[in-house]
Structures are given as C-alpha cells and as structure tokens.
C-alpha cells in the first residue's frame, strides 16, 4: 500500500493505493471524474481510496493525476512484466492503450477532451510510464473516455503483474532514495 498526500494553495489530494483488488472509494466534486478514476482502479485490479478538493477543475484533475501517478510509480514490482496492451470496445467506441512501466515517461494520444487528455499525460509522466492511447473509432464522448480508462486500467494490470521474467536487456532497474 502506498499513501501520498499532496497539498498546495490550489488543491489537497490524498491517495491510498495498493496492487490488490479491493475497495475503491473516490471522492472529488466531479462526478464523471470519480467514475473514470473508479473505472481505472477496478480494471487495474487496485484498491484505491482517493479524496481530493480544489479550486478549479483543471487544478483538481491535474493534481490528482500527479499524485496518483507518483503513488502508482511506487507500486511497480522489480519483476513486473513491464508491458501491457488492451483494446476495449464500448458500444460505438473502440480504444487501444499500450503501456510500458519501464520508467521512461512519454504520452501520446488524442481523446475528445482536453482535460482528460491532459490527465492521462500527467498521470503517465508522474508514474514514469510510456503510454499510447489510440481512439480507433467512435463518436460518443462518454464511451470514448470510459473505454480509454478501461483500456489503460487493463494495460496497467498486465504491465504490473509479476511473473518472474524481466523482459528487458537492461534487467531490472533499481533506485535508491536517501539523504546526502
């Protein structure tokens, strides 16, 4: 379990997340955003408690992405499969997410919402993930966004699974934190 709290003049975000299926509780003032975060956590196989408050919608969503990304970064096991890919259909929508949890942050995608586009970019950068999201077809904004969050969640589940085989010529990459 990882617990992070991020506080600024604009927002306060508290995240508790674990890489085990369990309860998911998301509380922001944004109902659809709560739905997307709950979807992401369930499809990733995470337990999640996330509470956030803030002034502007943009600040709130961005700071949640930063905090959740940093928390998920700490959940990547040394023997993670590293790569995950899923394509999710949802009525008219078909969305693909491809993820590398190898510590090289990059995001590429185009969603029908600048806020959710920015959220995925901020999440991927703070988690240290390469994330590509492709809308293959569809026109309903709700379906496209929800399919994207489901696909990212399933990709996360696959990439963070431990199977003992490290698929990298580098082997495992380890970091040490400490004071100088």
Query: pLDDT tens across 98-125, in order?
Result: 999 999 999 999 999 999 999 999 999 9
pTM: 0.93
**Cβ partners under 8 Å of residue 40, min gap 6:** 149, 150, 152, 153, 156
- Quick: pLDDT tens for 64-80: 999 999 999 999 998 99
Tell me how far the alpha carbon of residue 170 is from its chain's centroid: 24
* pLDDT band (50, 70, 90) for residue 173: low
What's the confidence (pLDDT) of residue 163? Answer: 77
Percent share of the chain, pLDDT over 70: 92
Mean pLDDT of 85-99: 98
* pLDDT band (50, 70, 90) for residue 21: very high
What's the confidence (pLDDT) of residue 179? Answer: 76
Spans of all domains in the chain: 2-160
pLDDT beyond 70 at 162: yes
Mean pLDDT of 155-162: 97
Round to whole Å and give the CA distance between 50 and 5.
10
Round to whole Å and give the CA distance between 95 and 152.
9
CATH topology of domain 2-160: Ribosomal Protein S5; domain 2 (3.30.230)
- Quick: pLDDT tens for 29-46: 999 999 999 999 999 999
Round to whole Å and give the CA distance between 80 and 99.
12
* pLDDT band (50, 70, 90) for residue 180: low
């Amino acid at each position: 379990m990882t617990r992070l709290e991020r506080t600024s003049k604009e927002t306060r975000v508290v995240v508790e997340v674990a890489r085990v299926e369990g309860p998911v509780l998301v509380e922001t003032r944004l109902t659809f955003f709560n739905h997307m975060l709950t979807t992401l956590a369930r499809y990733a196989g995470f337990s999640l408690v996330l509470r956030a408050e803030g002034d502007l919608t943009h600040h709130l969503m961005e700071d949640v992405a930063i905090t959740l990304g940093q928390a998920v970064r700490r959940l990547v096991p040394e023997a993670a499969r590293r790569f995950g890919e899923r394509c999710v259909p949802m009525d008219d929508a078909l969305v693909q997410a491809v993820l590398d949890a190898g510590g090289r942050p990059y995001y590429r995608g185009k969603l029908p919402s600048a806020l959710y586009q920015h959220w995925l970019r901020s999440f991927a950068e703070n988690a240290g993930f390469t994330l590509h999201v492709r809308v293959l077809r569809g026109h309903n904004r709700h379906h496209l966004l929800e399919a994207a969050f489901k696909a990212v969640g399933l990709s996360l589940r696959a990439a963070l699974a431990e199977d003992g085989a490290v698929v990298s010529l580098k082997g495992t990459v380890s970091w040490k934190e400490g004071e100088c």
